[in-house]
Structure 1
Amino acid sequence: MTTRGFHPTHVVPREGLPAFQTPDPSRPATPLDPLLPVQLVGRRGDWGRIVCANGWSAWVDGRLLVAVPQAPPRAGAPPAGAADPRPLLARAEEALARYRAAAEELAAGRLDAESFGERTRGLRTGVVVDGESLWVYDAEHERWAYCEGARLTTYAATGQLSAGAENEGRQPTPLVPRTPDGR
């Protein structure tokens, strides 16, 4: 049962996370499931007070929580610092084509597992298409970008963007992406 008004701000990391009734690691812990949605409602140093969808509250190591991206920019709103999406889409297509070619050779027996690993090592791409909305991973700048057709904007970045990304008109974005109104 989800508590009314519950909006997750974070998820538990893939490894799970111990939760405590008080911010004291010497007390008994309750394990939280991996990727469990939680709402961060307070902090005390590195400790984070979370609330789960069922209303249960606990303390966790807040540094380990994974932020949930906010909604993408609204379609039709003028993008700030946007760039042409085609070069990034071409890089994603190239990475996927290289992976597919190696997978086909592996399946056909023309490549062994070790060679497959060598050929695909370092390939990173990600694409989500939902109607007119597109999220694409830019491995070169370690960021997710959002596109609604003609313009690409940074959605979330794992750190500061490189000078190359900034020179392409994109601004550095923190781990927590901008809200639709640009804040």
Structure 2
Amino acid sequence: MESQPELRHLLPPSSLRRLAREWLAEDCPHFDYGGFVAGEGQASAALLLKSAGVLAGCPFVEAVFEELGCELEWLQAEGSVLQPVCQVATVRGKARHLLLGERVALNCVARASGIASACRRVAEVAERAGWHGHLAGTRKTTPGFRLVEKYAMLVGGVSSHRQDLSSLIMLKDNHVSTIGDVSKVTKIHCPFPRWDRVTVC
């Protein structure tokens, strides 16, 4: 039997590399004074989970440490519901590189795991209530961090919905109010396919 693809397969490697480089450059744009002191010696670090929740954001953490030439070993599977305190990963590499990637990686896994955990809770409430609707996220994401947050929604068990304004034709009351009447929307000549399936909300 063929195994199902993992959610991480949705993420283009080029996007992961780009984000990791941008995050690292943002956190250390010039001199790395702490790394200068820590030096080149080999070291290892343990990633601990200190709050109950769903582990998410693993591909982004991997990209950060891969950019720094560090080896990462996951001890828990992404999407698992974990209880504190437990070790979820071990990272090995040059001390200065571990320290350089530490905060960036922790920010990613903490943010993604928090979102995935919240989504899982909502999905479980809906399931217990017997609701068969569609749970989905919005574009109300952190600027520059959308891919991480949308991915975390999927890990948490809800739909990421549209990624951006170009992903789906959806007109809100703000759009409709600019032309005065919802009936006028369908009369606008539009070069896009499936204009007859515009969602107005």
Higher RCO (C-alpha 8 Å, min separation 6): 2
Larger helix proportion of the pair:
2
Larger strand proportion of the pair:
1
Asked whether the two chains share a fold, i.e. TM above 0.5, the reply is: no
When the two structures are superposed, what TM-score results if normalisation uses the length of structure 1?
A: 0.26
When the two structures are superposed, what TM-score results if normalisation uses the length of structure 2?
A: 0.24
